[in-house]
Structure 1
Amino acid sequence: MDTDVISAAIDFGLQKLSFTEIKINQRKVVESFLAGKDVFFCSPTGSGKSLTFEIAPFVFKYLQKNDMCIVLVISPLTSLMRTQTQALNRKGIKAPNKSSLGDVKEGKIDIIFSSPESLIGHERKLLLDLAKKNFIKTVFVDEAHCIKKFGLPDKKKKKLAYRPCYGRLDEIRSLVGGHVPVVALTATATEETKAVIKKQLCMDNCSEIMVNPDKKNVTYWVHNLPSDDICTNFRWLVNLLRGYKQATSRMIIFFRQIKHMADVYEYLETSLKHDAYIDFKEGGPNDNRNRLFDMFHMKTDDDVKDFICTSYMNPNGNIRVVLCSTSFSMGLDVKGVDTVIHYGPANDVDDYVQESGRAGREPSQQCNAILLTYKRCLGSQNIFPSMKEYVKSKTCRRAFILNIFKTIVEHAHIPHFCCDICRLSCKCACSCEDECVCTNTCNQVLPKINTAIMSNEDNDDSDDNDDNDITELDDMFSSDSDSDVLESSTRKPQVIYSSDDEMF
């Protein structure tokens, strides 16, 4: 296809989206699927992967001189689909909800968001009808790492797949026709993950566009907490919210156990009382709309989820801290987050990089990815050996992560901005020509969030995370879901319009 024609089609799409330019890698994706090729696109959180499917219907309309051009986006979460649909509708892009299914059948829609369960289930006939009419031009699998994470059984542990339809996406490929290109989008993918995704999507000869996962503006830290008492371990957060209130640095805290999330939420409410709210009103109402923190998990009300998402898409939103499950790591356009905290390690390095990538969406913003470990937190059988090695590593954490992804550090980092290990060897304040005699070799002030957390720590150097010292945990199931949400943290069930089940 002529490059000038492709450029004109892309310019047409950018104009429709009110954008002025497209990045090189985004353009490569568009050029590949226009050539009928499958694409594997791996690029860090916040790098603009969604533009590739937002622009797709318009480049096809321009090239084919036909308005009946639909792009199918397979997504894991209804909250994500709902947020994306609302954002696109505000731009004048036709993305359906329940009331517009008639338009879908007639091809009068630009983008369809749906889950694997819906497409393989009750939307199967609709998909076939659209394919027969040649309306579907490209299939995008957003958050494609979910294929490996949720779609396949664990034969070693004799566990069934959590979302088996994610392991059946090849059926969707057969439904829409082999001529329709498939684009897999993900922020992280090891060689193993990439191989699984390509195999499950039957992407035998695809274009691979891989972007270095190194987020240079994120500093990696591990803090070993001496206690397993949830109140003791989060006393620093109470002090931080009480002291800084709405000026508290915006942060996301991921939990591996829903019980821990509920306990911290209750502890914050009980401890902060009136200080939990902005402009507390004696007569009320005081709720999530003026509270400094909230929870995001499967049982969270739709309206609360929407409010959290809206607040976090606004750099000046009221909510400063979100306690969440892994679902908040996927696709949402969160802004102004300068700290991502994990209470306990992620299952694997893939997940950890995906989730910590919520920080530092603005390259000029120096951010922190902090992993808090507590007694016996490495005891879960669901944690991969590589993640345990990361926690215990005595060498550069950034280099450890990038080695997992077969990538090297492209540019030297200032040691105190790299990780807690490299910070120890930083000599940015040293001017000695020969042997260093400085009492202080680094002049970088410790971030206030780290200072607050470290105020909870004692100097006990014992190995609190010894794998051999394991007691029975309230173990989350293998995919870090919200399956065991406590009654105390339950709000009304999720109402779903584009998926059979809310999975997270």
Structure 2
Amino acid sequence: MDVAHSDTYEELDLEAAVEQAKSSQGISYVLTDRQKGAIYSVLKGNDTFVNLPTGYGKSMVYQLVPQCVDFMKLKQGHKESASVAVVISPLVSLMRDQVKTLRQRNVTAGYVTDVLKQPVEMALLRQGKLSIVFASPETLLGPLGRELLTSSVYQHNLCGIFVDEGHCVAKWGFKSGKLDAFRKSYSCIAEVRSLVPSTVPMTALTATASPEVKKTILQSLGMSNVNTIQVSPERTNIKYSVTSTLAKDPDSQFHWLFRDIQEHRKQTPKLIIFCQTHRQCRELHAAFEDNLGEDLIFHIAMYHSCTEEQRKEKVMEDFTKAGSFIRVLIATVAFGMGVHVEELYNVLHYGPARDVDDYFQETGRIGRDGKQSYATLLNDKCDCSSDSCNADVTKGWLAKHLMRPSASTETPQHFHPQMRTVTDSQRVELQQKVEAYRDSLLQGQEDAMYSGIDMTSGISVSLISTIVQNCHLICSYEDLLKYPFFNDTDAKEIWNVITETLGTEFSSDIVCDTDSDSESDDSVEDEQSQHSSEDIVSRPVLSSNSSSSSD
């Protein structure tokens, strides 16, 4: 064990170890400096706190470390070894997803819980034949976990303990007000350190941790002399919005989505609707069933902690792959942390998350490939009479920290190959024509008007205003697709309106004054702190990313 970690490792040796581990797993892309920095820190035997955004690739740290340690041991002249990393994970769905990914890369990995104990896997587990072992804190602190960690195999080969989704330590491990701890075992993980050699480092990984949460995590896990690897949790490819409707029942609130599913079926852009309770999930699923009928309800699925394990597996297997049959998933936080879903660019919160950290975790499921994505908070399902209303807290935080001018709302401060000349009268005419098109979408939709014009039509007042304001920069259909349209049909129709009104004549090779860029950055920073929650675009957006580019 002692030979596995050393402060005297040369940087070149560490880099060679990482490249060897990547090669053996068929990983061709270049790791970021922060990913490598976290791996190097663990290999040197340091306790490490990894705070990187969702989709950043935090899991690469524990996925590569065992093979890196084996490489370093061989380089030091020791006989071939089989290092083991133990990963404490909060959800079976996350463990299952990680194990599936690792096995596809020929990594020996497995997971165990107090309920799921397969005979073959248990034998491999006890023999130390699995290089990465996932377990819940309850299992690891129970009889089986203690048996494994104190066995000679693990005493000799354990190269690190990794607490994935480390914010769960603070969120779930302690009493909150009058509520007992959700999962008390999370506050007891430090006990594991008394069972393993003192040279085994502890690593906590999370996408979201306020200073208070970080302090709680480090203290609870007994981490000392900690190396911190972190960046802001902000995901620049996600547009955040908060909206509300006049309607208070799901039938009216989601009429726009029912219509889209009826029209597009399996081509409907994927969407997760996060609910805060099982009851909300059931009520919402019942509304979809009533409005879609037997022929279409199969495109909708529900996922929460009480969903049967077999059903969870089927939902996870289908929804996470490209071209999935399930297009809308109604879920609680039970579906989320760390799970990678292909072609997912939309998430809607049916009421606010418990806090901003949870909100970022749940919105972190979208746009993991870097493409433009949309997170909408529907705050109708909230009693905002309290000063500590979750929706108001979340809106205020978003307005202060994330509601910066984006590619679709500001005059870009970089090179524009084309720009058109637009008169004030043309802007007025354009706005009138676009509003007329939106009004045409409302015909025959009187019953759905309780949802509000924005939700029923899918084209918000804010969107129209933004397009009119920036129409001099919209010189191609691709330019228009950078704006948050509900579907391609609306985008095409509005593009026709733009060309009909403004023509197709452009000025070329226009370059903005780069000398003023640095000053404008500072002014944007000042404006951000003054944004109110009303500045946030108030409309639900579903993006298929069928032809839009990744910003």
State the match for 1:201 in structure 2.
221
Is the alpha carbon distance of 1:238 and 1:429 closer, same or farther for their aligned partners in structure 2, counting shifts above 3 Å?
Answer: farther
Letter in 2 for 1:90: Q
Q: Which deviates further from its counterpart, 344-353 or 268-277?
A: 268-277
Matched, 1:149 2:171: yes
State the match for 1:254 in structure 2.
274
State the match for 1:110 in structure 2.
131
State the match for 2:203 in structure 1.
183
Is the alpha carbon distance of 1:437 and 1:237 closer, same or farther for their aligned partners in structure 2, counting shifts above 3 Å?
Answer: closer
Q: Matched residues in 2 for 1:398 and 1:60: separation?
A: 41
Is the alpha carbon distance of 1:310 and 1:60 closer, same or farther for their aligned partners in structure 2, counting shifts above 3 Å?
Answer: same
State the match for 2:10 in structure 1.
2
Q: Matched residues in 1 for 2:287 and 2:151: separation?
A: 52
Q: Secondary structure at the match of 2:99?
A: helix
Q: Secondary structure at the match of 2:203?
A: strand
Alignment of 1:316-355 (within 5 A): 316-355=323-362
Matched, 1:229 2:229: no
State the match for 1:73 in structure 2.
87
State the match for 1:37 in structure 2.
46
Is the alpha carbon distance of 1:36 and 1:417 closer, same or farther for their aligned partners in structure 2, counting shifts above 3 Å?
Answer: farther
Q: Does the 8 Å contact 1:107/1:130 carry over to 2?
A: no
State the match for 2:415 in structure 1.
none
Is the alpha carbon distance of 1:377 and 1:179 closer, same or farther for their aligned partners in structure 2, counting shifts above 3 Å?
Answer: same
| Larger Rg belongs to | 2
Q: Structure 2: state its 5+ residue gaps.
A: 1-8, 75-79, 112-117, 412-418, 432-467, 472-479, 491-532, 534-551
Q: CA-to-partner distance for each residue in 1:66-108, whole Å, 9 max, x for gaps? A: 3231000000011211222232223221123522222222222
Post-superposition offset of 1:308: 2.2
Post-superposition offset of 1:328: 1.4
Q: 1:296 aligns with which of 293, 296, 303?
A: 303
Post-superposition offset of 1:310: 2.2
Alignment of 1:83-94 (within 5 A): 83-94=97-108
Post-superposition offset of 1:274: 4.2
Is the alpha carbon distance of 1:417 and 1:345 closer, same or farther for their aligned partners in structure 2, counting shifts above 3 Å?
Answer: farther
Post-superposition offset of 1:231: 2.1
Q: Matched residues in 2 for 1:67 and 1:446: separation?
A: 53
State the match for 1:161 in structure 2.
181
Q: Matched residues in 2 for 1:128 and 1:191: separation?
A: 34
Post-superposition offset of 1:429: 9.1
Q: Secondary structure at the match of 1:134?
A: helix
Q: Matched residues in 2 for 1:413 and 1:375: separation?
A: 28
Q: Secondary structure at the match of 1:309?
A: helix
Identity of paired residues, percent?
Answer: 30
Q: Does the 8 Å contact 2:351/2:391 carry over to 1?
A: no
Post-superposition offset of 1:48: 0.8
Root mean square deviation, CA, Å: 2.9
Is the alpha carbon distance of 1:233 and 1:322 closer, same or farther for their aligned partners in structure 2, counting shifts above 3 Å?
Answer: same
Q: Does the 8 Å contact 2:351/2:381 carry over to 1?
A: no
Is the alpha carbon distance of 1:89 and 1:375 closer, same or farther for their aligned partners in structure 2, counting shifts above 3 Å?
Answer: closer
Q: Does the 8 Å contact 2:155/2:197 carry over to 1?
A: no
Matched, 1:373 2:379: yes
Q: 1:448 aligns with which of 486, 508, 511?
A: 486
Q: CA-to-partner distance for each residue in 1:404-452, whole Å, 9 max, x for gaps? A: xxxxx7xx6335389xxxxxxxxx999689xx98963144655217999
Matched, 1:414 2:407: yes
Q: Matched residues in 2 for 1:148 and 1:38: separation?
A: 18
Q: Secondary structure at the match of 1:102?
A: helix
Q: 1:388 aligns with which of 381, 392, 401?
A: 392
Q: Secondary structure at the match of 2:367?
A: coil
Q: Secondary structure at the match of 2:151?
A: helix
Q: Matched residues in 2 for 1:275 and 1:451: separation?
A: 24
Letter in 1 for 2:400: F
Q: Does the 8 Å contact 1:344/1:377 carry over to 2?
A: no
Q: Secondary structure at the match of 2:274?
A: strand
Is the alpha carbon distance of 1:89 and 1:302 closer, same or farther for their aligned partners in structure 2, counting shifts above 3 Å?
Answer: same
Q: Matched residues in 1 for 2:138 and 2:152: separation?
A: 18
State the match for 1:400 in structure 2.
400
Post-superposition offset of 1:385: 5.3
State the match for 2:313 in structure 1.
306
Letter in 1 for 2:240: Y
Q: Which has the higher contact order (CA 8 A, sep 6+)?
A: 1
Is the alpha carbon distance of 1:229 and 1:386 closer, same or farther for their aligned partners in structure 2, counting shifts above 3 Å?
Answer: closer
Q: Matched residues in 1 for 2:48 and 2:389: separation?
A: 30
Instruction: Report the TM-score when normalising by structure 1.
Output: 0.76
Letter in 1 for 2:485: P
Post-superposition offset of 1:116: 0.5
Q: Structure 1: state its 5+ residue gaps.
A: 278-290, 404-408, 419-427, 453-464, 466-504
State the match for 2:363 in structure 1.
356
Is the alpha carbon distance of 1:343 and 1:57 closer, same or farther for their aligned partners in structure 2, counting shifts above 3 Å?
Answer: same
Q: Which deviates further from its counterpart, 206-215 or 140-149?
A: 206-215
Q: Secondary structure at the match of 1:133?
A: helix
Instruction: Report the TM-score when normalising by structure 2.
Output: 0.70
Q: Matched residues in 2 for 1:432 and 1:57: separation?
A: 64
Post-superposition offset of 1:22: 2.0
Letter in 1 for 2:174: L
Letter in 1 for 2:49: F
Q: Matched residues in 2 for 1:105 and 1:390: separation?
A: 46
Q: Secondary structure at the match of 1:208?
A: strand
Is the alpha carbon distance of 1:81 and 1:87 closer, same or farther for their aligned partners in structure 2, counting shifts above 3 Å?
Answer: same
